[in-house]
Each structure stands twice: as C-alpha cells, then as structure tokens.
Amino acid sequence: MPPPPPKVLTVPAKNETVGHDVCKWLQSVIDRLKWWSPGNCQKLFLETELIELCYRAREQFWKSPVKLDIEAPVNICGDIHGQFEDLLAMFELMHPPPTNKYLFLGDYVDRGPFSIEVITLLFAYQVLHPDKVFLLRGNHESRPVNMQYGFFLECRKRYSERLYDAFQLAFYCMPLCAVISKKIICMHGGISEDLIDLNQLEKVDRPCDIPDIGVIADLTWADPDDKVLGYGGSPRGAGRSFGPEAVRKFLHLHNLDLIVRAHQVVMDGFEFFAGQQLVTIFSAPAYCGQFDNAGAVLTVAPNLVCSFTIFRPDKSYEGNTKEQKNSKPHKVSEHNEKK
C-alpha cells in the first residue's frame, strides 16, 4: 500500500521570514495536494493554514510591481476556473515548478468545483518559488464577481467567510500584466486605449478593486472584436472591445511583437487575432463540462520561438491527449500549423 499523505504541519509564525520552516510548510501544502481527491479534500488543510497562505501570497504580490518583467523561457497558461484535476494533469505533462517557469493569466476561481485547491496550489508555488511562478489578476479575482459565480459559496460551505475574505486581500494586490523579454505583453483581458506608457502602471495603488472603465478594467475585462477598428463598448458591461487596428497601434507604440491574453473560451485552446499579432490562451479543457474545447499552454523559448501544447479531452477514456504546434512571434504564420 502507498504511504499515508503528509501530515498537517504547524503554521509558521506570521513575523517569521521565509526560512527553512516556512519552505518546509509550503512544500507540505504542495505535497498534500498530490494526495487530493474529491473524497478527502476536507481532510488536507486547516482553515488557519489557508488563511496564513493568503497573507504570505499578499505580501509576495506587494513586493512585485504591477507590471512584471519576465525573461523567457516561460510557459503561459490561461483560465483555470476551479478545474483542479485539469491543473494537476497539466503540471504532470508539462512538468511542475520549479523545473519549469510559469506565468498564469488569471481566473483561477469560480465556475469549476475546486477553486480552493487551484488557488491554494498556485499560491504555495508562487510563495515558495517566486522566480518560477507568476500569477496575474483576472476579472474573477474580484469580490463583486467571485461573490456571484461560485467561489464565495465554496469558501462558506467548506470553511467560512473568513477564508473568503483572506483570499480577497491577496487578489486585490495581484499584478495586472507582464512583459516577456521586452517583446511579448501578457494580461488577462486585453489592451487599453488609455495605456500610453507602460510606466503608468507603476502609479496603480494596491490593494484595489477592478473598476468598470479605465486601464485596470481593460487589462482584466477587454475583448478583441474584428468588427471594431479601434476601440468600442463591451457587451460585458466592463472594459472595452478593441479591433485589429488598435492591436497594431498598441504594439507599435510600445515596441512589442505579440499580445497574449486569456478571458475567452476558444475551442482549440488558442486562437489568433489581428494577423496573428494577438493570441488568446484558454487552459481549462471541457470547460465546466458544457464545452468540447481543448486547453492550451503557450511555451516561449529563450529565442522567443513559441509552441502551443494542446490538451484535448479524450472521450474514449479518462484523461487528456497532448499535441504540440510551433510558432514564432515575428513570423507566426510561417510556423503555426493550421487546422
């Protein structure tokens, strides 16, 4: 028989620096989640542990700028939305941190059944390996949204509203975008007409909620729309929509080559826009059990050559199949295989 799962460890003192005991505790959080199953999910953690993890994640986010600068290579992941089993499967196939570097584009919670496990694992990785795991904020990392779409009820049913509030404290301090090797910009939602200089983001005062309009709203809510030339209103009621010409001008203004964003279900796990100057990544396969979509991870190599690893739900057995497609930011059309 396999050995029993790791025992719950004593939570280190709040004023303790991230030393040996804290690292040991964080690793135990990760190790316990390897033993996760729907039947034992309530036996793995004390609520006080999860609240302490939220406090430490918040402190880590506060240390980070609103705009992260990350050097390739890195794996970029889109929405997860509480699909914890798919997150575990992705790490198994792509190799988990710290073996590989990861950038997540937000929307970790809501809709799926195990948001607490998703965000707990990612927070633990991010605090333990801050140079290997980077977490951006999505529109669902906001109280007005995750109060309605499942996360609040999950926290209240399984633990308490106190845990829910602790998660919000961390969410409200998360970075909003990242630039990879000075050429690829990443965010959850989309670009903003009001973002004239990326240094504007240094003036964002955290903790903050996500407003309905402005740069923060666009970075977390905006969507591409090929019927719009520049910028227009959004049917979501927050952020704006933007067209191919807006993408071209934004890249030229900021001397960038590619925009990587999430926020929308795309059936192949990735979808290009504006002459392949923007790509949407979605990493929750068979989303909510209502779609037959694939999930994808975008890997950026040191030379900025990009490859898509696609996870397709396989109806013949329990599990996902994997395939790869290669592309390059400067000349994506020469390398990407069309379906």
Task: List Cβ neighbours of 159 (8 Å cut-off, separation of 6 or more).
Answer: 47, 50, 116
The three-class DSSP label of residue 125 is: helix
Q: How far is C-alpha 301 from the chain's CA centre?
A: 19
For residue 91, give Cα distances in angstroms to 167, 261, 318: 23, 20, 17
CA nearest neighbour of 201 among 225, 177, 233: 177
Q: Are 6 and 28 in contact (CB under 8 A)?
A: yes
Q: Pick from 221, 283, 233: which is nearest to 94 by CA?
A: 283
Q: What are phi and psi of 310, to 5 degrees?
A: -110, 130
Tokens in use for 106? Answer: 């937000």
Distance of alpha carbon 151 from alpha carbon 164, whole angstroms: 8
Residues 6+ apart with CB under 8 A from 64: 130, 175
Q: Which residues form the catalytic set?
A: 140
CA–CA gap between residue 289 and residue 229 (Å, rounded): 34
> What is the rounded distance in angstroms from the CA atom of residue 13 to the CA atom of residue 251?
46
Task: Give the ranges where 172-312 is alpha helix by DSSP (H).
Answer: 215-221, 244-254
Residue 214, classified by CB atoms within 10 Å of its CB into exposed (0-12), middle (13-18) or buried (19+), is middle
β-pairing verdict for 133-135 and 320-327: unpaired
For residues 166 and 134, the answer to whether their CB atoms sit within 8 Å is no
